[in-house]
Amino acid sequence: MKRICFLADAVSTHTKRWVNYFVERGYECHLISLEGGQGIESKLYLLNSRVSLPGLKFVFVRKETEKITEEIKPDLINAHFVISYGFLGAMIEKRPLVVSCWGSDILLSPHKSFLHRLRVKYVLKRADLFTSDGFNLTKALVDLGVSQEKIITSPMGVSKDLLSLEKKKDKDSIIVLSLRRLEPIYDLKTLIYAIPLVLKQTQKPMKFVIVGEGSERVRLMKLAHTLDVEDYVVFKGRVTQEKLLILFESSDIYVSTSLSDSTSVSLLEAMAAGLTPVVTDIPGNRDWIKDEKNGFLFSPDDHKDLAQKIIRLTGNLGKYDFFKKENKTIIEKKALWEENMRLVENRFLQLCQ
């Protein structure tokens, strides 16, 4: 039995899915994290940093992490998110090291400051393998000097069960769903600004459901109040997987206003569940959505363009039913969780030999 030690945020849904996959496949799994999480089936080791500064706190837990890994004696270290746990993984001596890139850690972090770029380059020089969930993310890694042979491009993917989800019929209103965190990079204000324009030009009952938490929540709620659309917006906060499935069943349109992305799992889930995607025209989304072929693209930070795309859809949702069939085919071919994780697992095994 192979033994894997993960360095990652234990609160993250992506971490839970990733670690639990390897547990279910029979690996001995250990997770080291600064954050306590629930629903993870591996043994969890909580680190205690004396500082809270994002970069510095990982320096202060290096020795503790090394001590834990000496006890575990893993066959492989898998660190998630380059700028944080990837940095921690690069500082300790255990190898082989696989760093899983999530998006902003490569697409945005190197451009924030000289120190951010230095930290990213430090990690890139020390890892044996990188996992990337999107082609634009892989390109960014290559541009930063990583050899293509050291990268496995594999979207995190979705469960096959989503493809057979039954949509609710005879609903009272058209439901627009957003699943992005309420942080500046996801630009939810653009969706809020679009709502009055949509309501003004459509006669159909509308509801906008925003799932997620973040630092922008209060500001966004105030904006909805200021624009007099708060009766049409529901801020759900975090939801369980069971409640998310219910939302997929009842929703019609999926919107992502993100300003930067690699492959968005939320987008893949929406495609699999039969929602019509309306997403920003950025590289990560263009890998999956072709405008007017299987969804709509709109200009980032342009609430008027977003509103027009939603209005087109609400005018005749049935006209775009062919999007659903196309999207389910794409997911079946390219984005099934179990199949994509097998590719990752096989590369892990090769490294362990």
Q: Are strands 276-280 and 253-256 parallel, antiparallel or unpaired?
A: parallel
| Domain count of the fold of the chain | 2
Work out the pLDDT band at 8, boundaries 50, 70, 90: very high
Structure tokens at 60: 């202060």
Same domain, 133 and 36: yes
Same domain, 46 and 191: no
Contact, 278 vs 313, CB < 8 A? Answer: yes
Residue 201 has a pLDDT of: 94
Work out the pLDDT band at 171, boundaries 50, 70, 90: confident
Percent of the chain with pLDDT over 90: 77
pLDDT in tens, 33-60: 998 878 888 889 999 877 777 778 998 9
Q: Is residue 150 predicted with pLDDT exceeding 90? A: yes
Q: Is residue 85 predicted with pLDDT exceeding 90? A: yes
CA-to-CA dists, residue 36 to 29, 55, 77, 294, angstroms: 16, 19, 19, 39
Alpha helices in the chain (DSSP H): 13-24, 56-60, 62-72, 87-91, 104-107, 114-126, 135-143, 188-201, 217-226, 241-250, 265-272, 283-286, 303-315, 321-334, 337-352
Same domain, 345 and 293: no
Contact, 156 vs 337, CB < 8 A? Answer: yes
pLDDT in tens, 226-249: 999 999 999 999 998 899 999 999
pTM for the model stands at 0.87
Residue 48 has a pLDDT of: 86
CATH number where 227 lies:
3.40.50.2000
Rounded average pLDDT over 154-162: 90
**For residue 158, what is the DSSP state?**
B
End-to-end CA distance of the chain: 12
Same domain, 55 and 200: no
Residue 204 has a pLDDT of: 87
Q: Is residue 340 predicted with pLDDT exceeding 70? A: yes
Same domain, 69 and 143: yes
| Cα distance between residue 41 and residue 39, in whole Å | 6
Residue 352 has a pLDDT of: 87
Q: What angle do CA 157, 131, 17 make, to 5 degrees?
A: 45
Same domain, 24 and 110: yes
> Which of 128-132, 160-164, 281-285 is predicted least confidently?
160-164
Structure tokens at 226: 């200021």
Same domain, 91 and 182: no
What per-residue string of b and e applies to 112-149 under the rule 16 or more CB within 10 Å gives b? eeeebeebbeebbebbebbbbbbbbbbbbbeeeebeee
> Which of 85-89, 163-167, 219-223, 274-278 is predicted least confidently?
163-167
Q: In terms of Cα–Cα distance, which of 232, 230, 277, 228 is closest to 257?
A: 277
Residue 339 has a pLDDT of: 93
Same domain, 166 and 307: yes
pLDDT in tens, 309-335: 999 999 887 788 899 999 999 999 999
Same domain, 327 and 236: yes
Residue 347 has a pLDDT of: 95
Q: Is residue 169 predicted with pLDDT exceeding 90? A: no
Same domain, 198 and 306: yes
- Expressed as residue numbers, the domain containing 130 is 3-157+337-352
Mean pLDDT of the chain: 93
Work out the pLDDT band at 170, boundaries 50, 70, 90: low
| Cα distance between residue 231 and residue 221, in whole Å | 11
Same domain, 209 and 129: no
Same domain, 142 and 175: no
CA-to-CA dists, residue 179 to 33, 267, 270, angstroms: 25, 9, 9
Q: Is residue 90 predicted with pLDDT exceeding 70? A: yes
